[in-house]
């Protein structure tokens, strides 16, 4: 996972996989990057506006799936 924040642009990106794919507007200044039907990153614009006074968190509803792999 890669987390990147641009303070000047007030932009946060959370990357789960490689950075290829297309961007899809999911509303409320948030975008997701999709590759082959999977979300590979989430981008949040105007992050500071989302933070309530005295709070330092933003909640996102994300679905995740994990699988066990066997190395042979």
- pLDDT tens digit string along 16-40? 877 688 899 988 888 999 988 888 8
Structure tokens that stand for 11 in this block: 């932009």
Whether 41 shows a pLDDT value over 80: the answer reads yes
Q: What percent of the chain shows pLDDT beyond 90?
A: 22
Report the half-sphere exposure of 35 (CA within 13 A, side-chain side): 10
Q: What is the mean pLDDT of the chain?
A: 80
Q: What torsion, rounded to 10 degrees, do the Cα atoms 8, 13, 18, 23 define?
A: -100
Q: Which residue has the tokens 């995740």?
A: 64
Q: Which pLDDT score, from 0 to 100, does residue 61 have? A: 64
CA gap 15, 43 in Å, rounded: 9
Q: How confident is the model at residue 68 (pLDDT cuts 50, 70, 90)?
A: low
């Amino acid at each position: 996972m890669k987390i990147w924040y641009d303070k000047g642009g007030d932009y946060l990106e959370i990357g789960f996989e490689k950075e290829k794919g297309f961007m899809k507007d999911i509303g409320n200044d948030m975008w997701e990057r999709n590759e082959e039907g999977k979300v590979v990153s989430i981008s949040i614009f105007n992050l500071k506006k989302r933070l309530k006074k005295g709070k330092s968190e933003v909640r996102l509803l994300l679905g995740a799936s994990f699988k066990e792999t066997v190395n042979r």
